[in-house]
Amino acid sequence: MVLNTNRVEHLGGNERNIAIYNSTGSEDSEAMSPPSSVMVVTSSSPRQVHQVVLPPFRTTLQKLRLRLSEIFFPDAPLDRFKNQSWGNRFFLGLQFFFPIFVWAPNYNLKLLQSDVVSGLTIASLAIPQGISYAKLANLPPIVGLYSSFVPPLIYSVLGSSRHLAVGPVSIASLVMGTMLNDRVSYTDQPSLYLQLAFTATFFAGVFQAALGLLRLGFVIDFLSKATLVGFMAGAAIIVSLQQLKGLLGIVHFTNKMQIVPVLTSVFQRTDEWSWQTIVMGASFLIFLLTARKVSMRNKKLFWVSAAAPLTSVILSTLIVFIFKSKLHMISIIGHLPKGLNPPSANMLHFDSSYLGLVVNTGIVTGILSLTEGIAVGRTFASLKNYQVDGNQEMMAIGFMNMAGSCSSCYVTTGSFSRSAVNYNAGAQTTVSNIIMSATVLITLLFLMPLFHYTPNVILGAIIITAVIGLIDYEAALRLWKVDKLDFLTCLCSFFGVLFISVPLGLGIAVGVSVFKILLHVTRPNTAALGNIPGTHIYQNIHRYKEARRIPSFLIVAIEAPMYFANTTYVQERLLRWIREEEEWITTNDESTLKCVILDMTAVTAIDTSGIDTICEIKKVLEKRSLQFVLANPAGNVMEKMHNSGALESFGLNGLYLSVSEAVDDISATWKCQP
Amino acid sequence: MVLNTNRVEHLGGNERNIAIYNSTGSEDSEAMSPPSSVMVVTSSSPRQVHQVVLPPFRTTLQKLRLRLSEIFFPDAPLDRFKNQSWGNRFFLGLQFFFPIFVWAPNYNLKLLQSDVVSGLTIASLAIPQGISYAKLANLPPIVGLYSSFVPPLIYSVLGSSRHLAVGPVSIASLVMGTMLNDRVSYTDQPSLYLQLAFTATFFAGVFQAALGLLRLGFVIDFLSKATLVGFMAGAAIIVSLQQLKGLLGIVHFTNKMQIVPVLTSVFQRTDEWSWQTIVMGASFLIFLLTARKVSMRNKKLFWVSAAAPLTSVILSTLIVFIFKSKLHMISIIGHLPKGLNPPSANMLHFDSSYLGLVVNTGIVTGILSLTEGIAVGRTFASLKNYQVDGNQEMMAIGFMNMAGSCSSCYVTTGSFSRSAVNYNAGAQTTVSNIIMSATVLITLLFLMPLFHYTPNVILGAIIITAVIGLIDYEAALRLWKVDKLDFLTCLCSFFGVLFISVPLGLGIAVGVSVFKILLHVTRPNTAALGNIPGTHIYQNIHRYKEARRIPSFLIVAIEAPMYFANTTYVQERLLRWIREEEEWITTNDESTLKCVILDMTAVTAIDTSGIDTICEIKKVLEKRSLQFVLANPAGNVMEKMHNSGALESFGLNGLYLSVSEAVDDISATWKCQP
């Protein structure tokens, strides 16, 4: 068909543009009829529309490969190796597995200067926090220092984040402490408990490295932000309540973690409260919280909160040491062994009776520490505009934990608070982690006796100050404002953690998140569309007041893939749209409905049930003498309909590239065949 | 801004249409620039585009109500009561709860005639099948007849399908038999087993009615067609293998259902095989299968397969009766008590030790029988073009089972095979069920002694013939052709049922189906779009060869809601699109990339993580001096972005109603500010 079109355009007030063009034949040229407000019927021939085509043919194997590469290699990590010499490829590969080779060649004295300053700063924070978090995990305090020595060294070679400060963190410590202590009491069987902790760390590392190697990094995406906000707030409250033991000086305290037994324990043991401990704890807590506040007000004063914990430790240790005869009721850390991390590979405990426990603990703490480490790494990477590869980070953190488990370390990852201090102190590369390790090394070798008189109460105050920042009520408020179901997820994980248990609370929250996705698929939005006058655009008539119904047409958009889970709903809802439209036509005395157009733009996938439903709808509507056409079906939808033979029943006249073409073409047909 | 537009159109070969129109001011009028192949820049002002608006404001409560009504009342069941007098409303309500009032007023002799013929036909099938299926559930054969008497009567008053033939069915019988027998042996504790069967039936009824009352009918949608194809094939094979006990005359047979122990049992007991039984079973099996084949070839001969089971029963009973002295090794049904259903409400067994078992069994058989009943009802309703309301059917089937459990019936629903016969025999209303009940009543009262000598082997043959139709290998083949993941679901449920257990097999299949939905959300398709010359349409450049890239623009469509589960992927993938585009530009020496347009048409929902990601992408791209705009964001996406404050960073210049408007407007801006 040869279509010869001349068009003269006149636009604007004082301006005049004239364009005349010829286009010969074929569907590629001007084929769309003008805007409906002009209603110039283009020609007598009904088919000047563009054909909907199938996507390029691919074999099942090709499709599988494409699909798998999208699942596992969305970032196309091998792209960088293309068109490179073998030497270069080797070097790029080395850089890929050991990111240290990316920046080491250009490392200079100026960078070192920044890294030394930031490294020393985080060390001053890492030492007291390391001791405190180890206590949170019910481990000997020295393990917290061991864990601040080996893992940072390994991360500095393998990790791709330049600002991550590695070491023990509160959440993972808490979870490990709870899960292990549920089965094995740390007071009754301390050496078994320690063995299990190292073994769980080993499994956490194996699990993390496996996720990274198998490129399954996306599993941590299922912990949505809403889940994490609720979880962290709940965990922070639990951790803080646990510290009441130290802050009040209670000796006999529950081993449980939930809010009810802890509070019961606190108020049943008022006889054990010690006023000296309470006064000391409260003073230092106020000092630490004030320092935190100062740093939050002014980012340049970050060093105030960074130095406060070590200052508190030194001050409180001095006080206790000087008044040791009068303050004997304040419990102190006591003797800490001098020396480097002892090897612990022989302590890994693969006995079948505890295997389930350690594997479970390893997986849960592994996922949690990955989530924290990767989120922190990404946050600072985006501030400095570089990329952190999730799968690679998983491998780095995984290997670091595996190595840690053989050198008396428990689960470590990137800590949010210390990384923020690291960033603010001007860290440039992971050398700051090496500096921190070196500082811890010196502490381990020479300074351990100094901690003998450090009171436990100060550790509680440090922990509370660290975790209080995890309660992000503003984020929760924003969730409520933006998305009520997200807020519900947040509440579920919050209360789940507070009242049930950490893994179960997380499980419930993930369940609610997944349920939300399924709900959206099960009950997709549908909308009747109308034309925006003067354009080819069709929009929801309930949202755009100017959108006008097209007489005799009902245009419905389905806003979700068509799956088994929603086909019944889609069919019922579409029939209801038609019923309502017919009622509207009767009351408004409009021209009768003749054609239903299904806008498939947002139907991004379909399964066999969906295809059956479309065929079913077509059959039902044809029995009622209604034309039924599809607009803009997606590539894979077309392909599946073709494979199932459903396309044949639609033929050329049932598929259009856009709603606008469908409306124009079908109205033209009606005019030709009155 | 007042825009004065005159346009003169000249179109077509021999036809000439001229339209001149004025439009004053505002964005509602002609604002789209002409197709890009014409490239007439419309005016010097950059903003003649349509604004993206928020959906109409609704309070949280209104939104919740709307959402809940879509979830629970998608078919708007109360619409019919609108604008009606109170009398009419009462009658409509009566019709709603008792569909019998819909057709009863117009019932006439001609309809009755059809119903009597079809009722008698299905009775001749229902009696032997009832006895057989009861044996499948390890229940006394008489319970099968009881179950073919009371439930059909209740369904005929409450049910909305006119063609459903109600009674025991193979799948639910099999599942009940397996699940109960796992805990309580039917041979050792027959009366406890019977009590548990009635109690499970009661719970199935309660569960079904509750689903209907709470309008939670959509839960059965989660058993996708693919799951059911695999499940039914697996169940059919298991059922058939179980019949080997009867067909071979084996006395000592396993109680397990899985394929391995059953086959082991068969070949370990070759000494118990009885050639008389085998000969008789094989002959009648061949007879029944031939009759089935005949009816399938010619739909008009449906009565051949409908009459065959009763014929076989009569013939085989006669043979055994006549040669009873010689055929004593063929096991027979034996004595069946005469008389109506005895009440069984006192047999319901709510003891806590078996409560879990009966509730579980009730839920699983309840879901399975609902799925079968509703699917069958819908199939025949769509053939005769009437509606079957899923929730109402659930209530009908639920009440029928609750009543059944108090009158010595076990789980019943609409049977596919008998409903097909019912439909083919010309059933017009549920009166055919009443006729069938009456026939069963007569049988129960007077004909029971006739079944004394009926051999068990014939029941096995009847069951095999009935279930063999459930193996739908053509559907499985179609699944493979259309959707590989659907086929995987099918295989999972098939092998799960065959090798593990019925509930676990179903659970795995549902899990795979849900995983498929999640996979689509986790790894959504993305596509680069190009303009189809001469139109305002933008399409995937890899699918439409004629689609042309727009210089300096990268237009990417995301084809899924943006959730926590995919935000990382979307961000990585978008950055990769940009990287690839920039590489392409470098190699092809094209004009540099200046603007990225995200087509949000298919992003039908967003959560807080999604919003954060969009803001994050905008920030990253702006650092690289790339403009980033959104095209056609959906209503609820706009709303959430507005609530979270993310919209402000986009402002008026960052949102467009369509890709085409975005391209035209942004190019116009560039021309103004070179």
CA separation for the pair A643, B483 (Å, rounded) = 9
| Average pLDDT score, chain A | 83
How would residue A386 be classed by pLDDT, with cut points 50, 70 and 90?
confident
A12-21, B42-51, B215-224 — which one is most confidently predicted on average?
A: B215-224
Higher pLDDT, A253 or A430: A430
How would residue B545 be classed by pLDDT, with cut points 50, 70 and 90?
confident
How would residue A402 be classed by pLDDT, with cut points 50, 70 and 90?
very high
CA separation for the pair A563, A547 (Å, rounded) = 30
Residue B674's pLDDT is 56
Give CA angle at B117 (B111, B121), nearest 5°: 140
Q: Is A225 on the interface with B (CB under 8 A)?
A: yes
The predicted model gives B245-263 an average pLDDT of: 82
pLDDT digits (tens, 9 = 90+) for B220-243: 777 788 888 888 888 889 888 888
Higher pLDDT, B542 or B365: B365
CA neighbours within 13 Å on the CB side: how many for B643?
A: 23
Residue B45's pLDDT is 40
A559 to chain B: which residues are within 8 Å by CB?
Answer: 604, 634
Q: Which of A654, A644, A576, A661 is nearest to A622 (CA)?
A: A654
B605 to chain A: which residues are within 8 Å by CB?
Answer: 520
CA separation for the pair B349, B351 (Å, rounded) = 6
Residue B514's pLDDT is 84
User: Which of A177-181, A291-295, B7-11 is the least confident region?
Assistant: B7-11
Q: Residue A1: pLDDT above 70?
A: no
A443-447, B2-6, B466-470 — which one is most confidently predicted on average?
A: A443-447
Interface mutation target, options B8, B545, B556, B608, chain A, most CBs of A under 10 Å = B608
Q: Residue B48: pLDDT above 60?
A: no
The predicted model gives A401-421 an average pLDDT of: 91
Q: Residues 597..656 of A with a Cβ closer than 8 Å to B: which?
A: 601-602, 604-605, 607-609, 611-612, 616, 619-620, 623, 634-636, 640, 643-644
Asked if residues A341 and A408 have their Cβ atoms less than 8 Å apart, the reply is yes
CA separation for the pair B618, B600 (Å, rounded) = 14
CA separation for the pair B606, A517 (Å, rounded) = 10
A540 to chain B: which residues are within 8 Å by CB?
Answer: 55, 635
pLDDT digits (tens, 9 = 90+) for B599-624: 998 898 888 888 988 988 998 888 88
The predicted model gives A384-392 an average pLDDT of: 80
How would residue B196 be classed by pLDDT, with cut points 50, 70 and 90?
very high
Inter-chain residue contact A12 with B4, CB threshold 8 Å: yes
Distances B116 to B154, B164, B383 between C-alpha atoms, Å: 18, 15, 21
Angle between helical axes of A225-242 and A456-468 (0-180°, round to 10): 160
Q: Which of A437, A127, A78, A74 is nearest to B525 (CA)?
A: A74
User: Which of A511-520, B32-41, B54-63, B514-523 is the least confident region?
Assistant: B32-41
Residue B513's pLDDT is 83
Give CA angle at A640 (A635, A644), nearest 5°: 150
Residue A361's pLDDT is 93
* Rg of chain B, C-alpha, whole Å: 33
Asked if residues B134 and B456 have their Cβ atoms less than 8 Å apart, the reply is no
The set of long-range contacts for A317-325, using a CB threshold of 8 Å and a minimum separation of 24, is: A317/A450, A317/A451, A317/A453, A317/A454, A317/A455, A317/A458, A319/A280, A320/A453, A320/A454, A320/A455, A321/A453, A324/A453
Inter-chain residue contact A517 with B565, CB threshold 8 Å: yes
pLDDT digits (tens, 9 = 90+) for B110-163: 989 889 988 998 888 888 889 889 988 999 999 999 999 999 999 999 988 888
Asked if residues A444 and A338 have their Cβ atoms less than 8 Å apart, the reply is yes
Asked if residues B627 and B666 have their Cβ atoms less than 8 Å apart, the reply is yes
Q: Residue A643: pLDDT above 70?
A: yes
Helix (H, G, I), strand (E, B) or coil at B531: strand
pLDDT digits (tens, 9 = 90+) for B291-345: 988 888 887 887 888 888 888 989 999 998 888 877 777 888 888 888 888 998 8
Residue B286's pLDDT is 93
The predicted model gives A174-193 an average pLDDT of: 89
> Furthest-apart CA pair in chain A: how many Å?
108
Q: Residue A93: pLDDT above 50?
A: yes
B133 forms beta bridges with none
Q: Residue A71: pLDDT above 80?
A: no
* Rg of chain A, C-alpha, whole Å: 33
CA separation for the pair B655, B653 (Å, rounded) = 6
Kindly indicate whether the ipTM for this predicted assembly is greater than 0.95, answering yes or no. no
pLDDT digits (tens, 9 = 90+) for A195-242: 999 999 999 999 999 998 888 877 777 778 888 888 888 888 988 888
Q: Which of B7, B200, B515, B491 is nearest to A34 (CA)?
A: B7
Inter-chain residue contact B536 with A536, CB threshold 8 Å: yes
Residue B202's pLDDT is 95
| Average pLDDT score, chain B | 83
CA neighbours within 13 Å on the CB side: how many for A460?
A: 25
> pTM to 2 decimals?
0.76
Closest CB to A221 among B11, B76, B568: B568
Q: How much of chain B exceeds pLDDT 90, in percent?
A: 21
Residue B34's pLDDT is 36
Interface mutation target, options A543, A558, A599, A606, chain B, most CBs of B under 10 Å = A543
CA separation for the pair A252, A43 (Å, rounded) = 92
Taken in order A40, A41, A43, A44, the sign of the CA dihedral is negative
Alpha helices by DSSP H, listed for B271-409, are 275-297, 302-322, 352-383, 390-405
Residue B431's pLDDT is 92
CA separation for the pair B199, B173 (Å, rounded) = 14
Distance of alpha carbon A83 from the chain centroid:
34
CA separation for the pair A450, A418 (Å, rounded) = 23
Residue B598's pLDDT is 93
Higher pLDDT, B672 or B201: B201
The predicted model gives B411-434 an average pLDDT of: 89
How would residue A359 be classed by pLDDT, with cut points 50, 70 and 90?
very high
Unique residue bearing structure tokens 């409903």: B419
In chain B, the residue whose alpha carbon lies closest to the alpha carbon of A603 is: B602
Closest CB to B605 among A30, A44, A520: A520
How would residue A529 be classed by pLDDT, with cut points 50, 70 and 90?
very high
Interface mutation target, options A70, A231, A482, chain B, most CBs of B under 10 Å = A482
Give CA angle at A449 (A445, A452), nearest 5°: 140
Closest CB to A572 among B74, B534, B537: B74
pLDDT digits (tens, 9 = 90+) for B475-525: 899 888 888 888 888 999 899 988 888 778 888 888 888 888 888 888 888
pLDDT digits (tens, 9 = 90+) for B384-415: 777 788 888 999 999 999 999 999 999 999 98
How would residue A6 be classed by pLDDT, with cut points 50, 70 and 90?
very low
Q: How much of chain B exceeds pLDDT 70, in percent?
A: 92
How would residue B49 be classed by pLDDT, with cut points 50, 70 and 90?
low
CA neighbours within 13 Å on the CB side: how many for B268?
A: 10
Q: B652: which DSSP letter?
A: G
**β pairing state of B6-10 and A655-656:** unpaired
Asked if residues B595 and B627 have their Cβ atoms less than 8 Å apart, the reply is yes
How would residue A413 be classed by pLDDT, with cut points 50, 70 and 90?
very high
Distance of alpha carbon A254 from the chain centroid:
34
Q: Which of A515, A514, A470 is nearest to A494 (CA)?
A: A470
Sheet with B526-531, strands from edge to edge, namely B538-540, B526-531, B553-558, B595-599, B627-631, B655-656
Q: Residue A47: pLDDT above 50?
A: no
CA separation for the pair A337, A333 (Å, rounded) = 12
User: Which of A455-469, A490-504, B21-35, B111-125 is the least confident region?
Assistant: B21-35
Inter-chain residue contact A537 with B15, CB threshold 8 Å: no
Q: Residues 427..486 of A with a Cβ closer than 8 Å to B: which?
A: 478-479, 481-484, 486
Q: Which of B46, B51, B4, B54 is nearest to B27 (CA)?
A: B51
Asked if residues B532 and A50 have their Cβ atoms less than 8 Å apart, the reply is yes
User: Which of A187-191, A503-507, A522-526, B359-363 is the least confident region?
Assistant: A503-507
CA separation for the pair A581, A105 (Å, rounded) = 70
The predicted model gives B454-475 an average pLDDT of: 86
The predicted model gives A348-368 an average pLDDT of: 90
Closest CB to A537 among B9, B35, B657: B657
Higher pLDDT, B605 or B77: B605
Closest CB to B34 among A9, A13, A657: A9
Interface mutation target, options A11, A22, A24, A480, chain B, most CBs of B under 10 Å = A11
Q: Residue A436: pLDDT above 50?
A: yes
> What would the two tokens of residue A84 be?
């490179």
CA separation for the pair B87, B100 (Å, rounded) = 18
B573 to chain A: which residues are within 8 Å by CB?
Answer: 74
The predicted model gives A267-277 an average pLDDT of: 84
pLDDT digits (tens, 9 = 90+) for B635-669: 888 888 888 888 888 876 788 888 988 898 888 88
Q: Residue A423: pLDDT above 90?
A: no
